[in-house]
Structure 1
Amino acid sequence: MESRITLASAGPASGGSGTHKASVHPWTAAGGVADELHEGMDTAIRDLGHAHDGIKSGTAGFASAAALTAVLATWETRLSAVRAECQYLGGALRKTGVGYGENETAVKASFESVKSKIDEYSKGR
């Protein structure tokens, strides 16, 4: 299913038609990419935690151990925020794609119903 949108503020680009093609696929594909990034963040957080296993016991009393623990906590916080955002975006992008597809179907049906009425009117003349 394909639609064209003409932007009021944009004239035709050189060599282009001045329209924007849109479809459902990019929305669902982007949702899939966000899901993959979410899974990647899960892996990154686990790997980061495993990389720090045993740091405290092997470096007790060293200032670097405390610094490493603080760095680990900040990275876990950052990666968790990215993971949460990716999870949100995955769902939101898929929902937008589904809504777009449903809207396109409804609009097409409404135009078809008007077209048939126009065709009937034209035949009567």
Structure 2
Amino acid sequence: MAGFVGQSQGQGGQGPGQGGQSQDCRQRLIDMAGGVGVPAPRTGGPRHGGELRHSDGPWTRAAGAAEALRTHMGLVRGEFAAAHEGVAAGTEGLGAAAVLRTVRMSWERRIEIAMGECESLAVHLRAVAREQGENEAAIRASFARAGGGAR
């Protein structure tokens, strides 16, 4: 999910100065699907019960996996730092020490970025689950008010 790297989490998962980014992502998805008003494929009928049902299970499991990955990377980051303790003292005067330090700093930045991506992804996945559940409830209520009933 390009664009979420390094964003601080503001309200709605958007970083400062990036208020329209979430809308831009949604619009790109709509455009890729053929635009607004494109009918969804029919999956209903007698065999399938004629209903499209939402389950937040896959979304929340994916969010949990992203959080677990973030946690694991935090542990690895600590192990990585511990493994490099004292390396500078044993490599004084060697050009490889400077290269090793540069590589280590690069990997530490990459781990931090990946951890941030996982955190952002988990927030967004949970938001999708919540929003779809709210939308489903609103649609059911709308049908019930219109006299169409809701199953």
SS across alignment from 2:92? coil
Q: Quickly say closer, same or farther: Cα 1:22–1:9, change in 2 above 3 A.
A: closer
The aligned counterpart of 2:95 is: 63
Question: Counterpart amino acid of 1:95?
Answer: A
So what's the TM-score if we normalise by structure 2? 0.62
Q: Within 5 A, what are the aligned runs for 1:1-125? A: 8=39, 22-115=54-147
Question: Unaligned stretches of 5+ in structure 1?
Answer: 1-6, 118-125
Post-superposition offset of 1:102:
1.0
For residues 109 and 74 of structure 1, the distance between their equivalents in structure 2, rounded to whole angstroms, comes to 52
Q: Which moved more, 1:82-91 or 1:22-31?
A: 22-31
**Counterpart of 1:34 in 2: which secondary structure?**
helix
Distance in 1 (CA, whole Å) between partners of 2:60 and 2:80 is 30
Give unmatched runs, 5+ long, in structure 2: 1-37
Larger Cα-atom Rg: 1
Distance in 2 separating the partners of 1:105 and 1:11: 21
TM-score (norm 1): 0.73
Give the structure 2 partner of residue 121 of structure 1.
none
SS in 1 for 2:110: helix
Aligned-CA RMSD value? 2.7
Q: Sort the Cα spacing of 1:9 and 1:94 in 2 relative to 1 into closer, same or farther, 3 A.
A: closer
Amino acid at match of 2:83: A
Percent identity over the alignment is 33
Distance 1:37 1:20 in 2: 31
Q: Secondary structure at the match of 1:115?
A: coil
How much has 1:111 moved relative to structure 2?
Answer: 0.9
Assess if the C-alpha contact under 8 Å between 2:54 and 2:136 holds in 1: no
Higher helix share: 1
Q: 1:34 to 1:56 in 2, by over 3 A?
A: same
1:13-44 deviations in Å (ceiling 9; x for gaps): xxxx8x98642111111111111111111112
What is the deviation of 1:71?
A: 0.8
Give the aligned length.
107
